Amino acid sequence: MGLDAFSLEDSVAVVPGGSRGTGERIAVSMAEVKADVAPVAHSEDALEATAERIEATGQSAAPYPLDVTDDAAIEAMFDDVEATLGEVDVLVNNAGTNPRFGNARKLDIETWQRTIEVNVGGVVALPD
């Protein structure tokens, strides 16, 4: 059983962390099964590349730069996506950060706090 047995036709998906790696692959895969997709990420350049791959499937893309720790920006993103693509049916909470920090014992508290804020706080804030 492949993706051909699975359809998201007439669905709208939001994929935070959708510009690179697993999130990018999820966003494109959702488009391949007929969802319109809003990839969401901090990096605008990578978002545009993901949007191009989504649109190459024949589906609509609404790339959205977003800091998942900013509640007002999250609310605005959902409003904009719904105005552009329609009501959101699917949310894939994939946003995260992985600082390349070397020795964890030498990591400053600000980096730890930001990592927790994005990786945990973003998951809690997005579906609110």
Position with higher pLDDT, 114 vs 10:
10
pTM for the model stands at 0.80
Domain ranges in the chain?
7-125
Q: What is the mean pLDDT of the chain?
A: 86
Please tell me the CATH code under which domain 7-125 is placed.
3.40.50.720
Q: Which residues pair with 14 in a beta bridge?
A: 38, 91
- Whether the per-residue pLDDT at 58 is higher than 70: the answer is yes
Q: What is the pLDDT of residues 73-127, one digit of tens each?
A: 999 999 999 999 999 999 998 876 666 666 777 778 787 777 777 666 665 556 5
Alpha-carbon span 128 to 118, nearest angstrom: 15
Query: Is 39 within 8 Å of 63 (Cβ atoms)?
Result: yes
Alpha-carbon span 91 to 29, nearest angstrom: 14
Q: State the Cα torsion 93-8-45-20 to the nearest 10°.
A: 50
3-state secondary structure of 37: strand
Looking at residue 112, its pLDDT comes to 72
Q: State the Cα torsion 31-33-36-38 to the nearest 10°.
A: -50
Alpha-carbon span 30 to 63, nearest angstrom: 14
Crossing angle, helix 44-55 and helix 21-32, to 10 degrees? 20
Q: Residues 13-20: what's their mean pLDDT? A: 93
